[in-house]
Structure 1
């Protein structure tokens, strides 16, 4: 594979979700649209959406194919890790009380409105009337209560995000009341993600291969390692989808997507900036930049030597020329801390770890490695070599010999993520507002700092957004000053958008690809 990390999907949540890389091409009767699933990304600040002007009415029977680079091994959104599940199913098939856009703005979904008490401890949600699941069952407040209680009681995926909930009760069929033990400024944001999804209590379907939700699309077909097919829910309780079928087809990398774009098989797809000349003259497309929360992170195993020594961690950081990485990738942003500039708590931390090879050599000498240090970087094989080659040469300049061990993703999951058996690793943490990983000493980073954990607790019990952001900012600075990892870059992905397509945002599509407003005109 020639793809570099900026154009390969991945992420903290992409854990356990990487499907086979090569997509078998399928003949389909209408137009296809491609989007890269685990990558897109950064750039401008606002939702960038393709707009089709002066076009005929959209065809609600049209079939649209989105090219993705990650697919889940199964569809169980309650237990299976992986950003691809969130990306493909949330809002499209499953819904929560509220929804959110790429910038984190909260909007109504199953709940048409809600109120918050003066002490920020009681949230009262009023459901839209007439909501139903795709199997025809009525969706009531009892389903909301059961879904959240089941998540918490059985410790399903991301249940910790709702730890502030004390009680949840149904008052009639259309009112849900949530009381908190402490204020929680992240509650609505978390309810707009996996923890807040509402499932049918009476359904007995196999969640690994089927999905019964309340969204505007139905799950029609799931082929592990190949594709997910959604069809328009003609009985949807809200505004109907504007396309008939959405196909999410797996592609190996952005090179494969670029070929599909130019072949006319794909109308919406991420383009490697270094290869954009190959499509720039194609009049069928516009090129759009979006923003994303992706953080390509050089993880240190903080619980294993030599990274138990802060001097070694700081030496590695000082040896890395982040500007050179951005130049090699053809775009993106430097990143020197665990929070991107579109998330609460961001601060420019470039002064914490400037490129300084001389300081790196001195730190290594002080730590007892004046004669050199051998390190192993374990990285999923679907990442390319652009960044790892740069790191190898940059670290060599300060006396560090880096051995790059490219492994199958299943091996990475077992050895690095689960068993924490590694020295260095690279992964794309794509999720927004995921600072909680740095407050969890059991996470694969192995980072354990009581002050950071205390600040995280203060942030998540704040009664206002300003305090929440300030506490996160303080905690993020400590994490960076402690050299808990190195944040290599915040990637930028260029997206080619067919001029006939509208209603699909190019922002943060690696974590959420909402096609409910997608519209295509011939």
Structure 2
């Protein structure tokens, strides 16, 4: 049995929910959900410390209901700030203790035992214990909250005492711990009775003080937080519809910290000596999709290989302001199973020309390159690198909806797109861009059946090598995570800020 860390606790009558696959029965002993829960007044007054306003490039949430409203905006705002998850993750996207201070996984990958931290409390004063964990998992599955799809295969969930949760699976799920560090793992207060669209009931370092749909969100320090208190007494999130708006807000002092989208350019912010541009990395990948369907030249591996040789990924990554690092496979450096595959298709123009010259001009036909407007300069660079060959693509700049529809319809030869999210890695085992490869499919099945994380990552590396060697598409680079802060602001995160923005340590010097 692999062991994350060690903790022991005495036995106590527990609570469980059972089911086949994802079906889970109702909680028993309902009175136990109130056991050891004590309610105090909800803290709303401001406390001493710095007050900081964070600006974000993107739409403001219309609701706070993270259980049912999709989109990264709520993940950014609430996870790690207002809500905490059973398992946490750090700035390297590694799994770390959170609500659970430790966990054990059996050798067959079917049994998980979580030991919770002692003396945890929600912002309203209610104690947080194993009852709340069981309740939260039950609610997510039974009510099909966002993240429920990541909890399939749960057989039983039990809490033999207030500090222990035991999960049994029908079959191994090596992605479970990572799922429990996202929405599927948010722990809600079993005793709370609130309007989740306008209110929150979390255990994080902040609580929501004021929220206007489509407007700012004001957080205040949670004085009952069970770990290190938030460094700032108040944190306000304001939303802007462009990076120009962010830049102006920084200049006027309306905000002290700006979080850019991955596709934004940091260049306009670099000339202000009063601010500092920090560049991290995300899990978002920019790729050149190649249509693998039978009526496309890229159904032939040799044509796909030609593109991989011709494109100079390193030069592309260096020239694109939103690029963190060149990429040569389906897994980014912050994701499990990453492997440096830069040697698979090193830039070799002659080799690429030889491959594409195998095909006659009539067979190649017209090669369209669909480009979203925000990636116009990238599209132009790709055209420049390919135009000396028989491919010679014609660039068409389209909006996001048109791009999605045309890719779905197969109405393209090449398209610049992004891939992101915890399940996007397996897309090449599921026919994305019309790609089919039985070896890649088997490698990915092996990964999902892995009983432990070591086997999972090894099998992912085998899968990644299969699809990269077969040139399933042309991976270009991992997008950067960019934060611009006044020089007197410290403690802000730098990686994955497009989806995970913990602000507990942010403060003025």
TM-score normalized with structure 2 length: 0.76
By how many angstroms is 1:236 displaced? 3.5
Which residue of structure 2 lines up, in the alignment, with residue 196 of structure 1? 185
CA offsets 1:308-340 (integer angstroms, 9 cap, x no match) = 343443343344232332342256322111122
- Kept in 1: contact 2:140–2:148 (CA 8 A): yes
2:73 counterpart SS class: helix
Which residue of structure 2 lines up, in the alignment, with residue 112 of structure 1? 101
1:144 and 1:379, CA in 2 relative to 1: closer, same or farther beyond 3 A? Answer: farther
- Kept in 1: contact 2:481–2:497 (CA 8 A): no
- Kept in 1: contact 2:107–2:452 (CA 8 A): no
- Kept in 1: contact 2:140–2:146 (CA 8 A): yes
Query: Mapping of 1:66-215 within 5 angstroms?
Result: 66-71=54-59, 72=61, 74-117=63-106, 119-134=108-123, 138-153=127-142, 155-201=144-190, 205=194, 207-208=196-197, 210-215=199-204
Which residue of structure 2 lines up, in the alignment, with residue 457 of structure 1? 445
- Which shows bigger deviation, 467-476 or 232-241? 232-241
1:277 and 1:145, CA in 2 relative to 1: closer, same or farther beyond 3 A? Answer: closer
Which residue of structure 1 lines up, in the alignment, with residue 468 of structure 2? 480
1:173 and 1:277, CA in 2 relative to 1: closer, same or farther beyond 3 A? Answer: closer
Compute the RMSD of aligned alpha carbons: 3.5
- Which shows bigger deviation, 416-425 or 325-334? 416-425
1:85 counterpart SS class: helix
CA offsets 1:110-157 (integer angstroms, 9 cap, x no match) = 223333445543222233445444455554423322322343455543
CA offsets 1:29-65 (integer angstroms, 9 cap, x no match) = xxxxxxxxxxxxxxxxxxxxxxxxxxxxxx7453312
- Kept in 1: contact 2:269–2:277 (CA 8 A): no
Which residue of structure 2 lines up, in the alignment, with residue 320 of structure 1? 311
| Distance in 2 separating the partners of 1:186 and 1:260 | 40
- Give the number of the structure whose alpha-carbon radius of gyration is greater: 2
Equivalent of 1:387 in 378, 395, 407: 378
By how many angstroms is 1:421 displaced? 6.4
| Distance in 2 separating the partners of 1:144 and 1:492 | 34
1:227 and 1:481, CA in 2 relative to 1: closer, same or farther beyond 3 A? Answer: farther
1:299 counterpart SS class: strand
By how many angstroms is 1:514 displaced? 0.5
Q: Please state if 1:294 is matched with 2:294.
A: no
- Kept in 1: contact 2:109–2:452 (CA 8 A): no
Which residue of structure 2 lines up, in the alignment, with residue 38 of structure 1? none
1:290 counterpart SS class: strand
Structure 1 unpaired stretches of 5+: 1-58
Size of the aligned set, in residue pairs, is: 456
By how many angstroms is 1:494 displaced? 5.6
1:335 and 1:202, CA in 2 relative to 1: closer, same or farther beyond 3 A? Answer: same
Q: Please state if 1:278 is matched with 2:271.
A: yes
Equivalent of 2:238 in 249, 265, 284: 249
Q: Please state if 1:438 is matched with 2:431.
A: no
- Which shows bigger deviation, 362-371 or 236-245? 362-371
- Kept in 2: contact 1:328–1:386 (CA 8 A): no
1:114 and 1:515, CA in 2 relative to 1: closer, same or farther beyond 3 A? Answer: same
CA offsets 1:425-474 (integer angstroms, 9 cap, x no match) = 43343557852333334xx5444433223222323443444333221111
Structure 2 unpaired stretches of 5+: 1-46
Equivalent of 1:332 in 320, 324, 346: 324
Equivalent of 1:518 in 489, 498, 506: 506
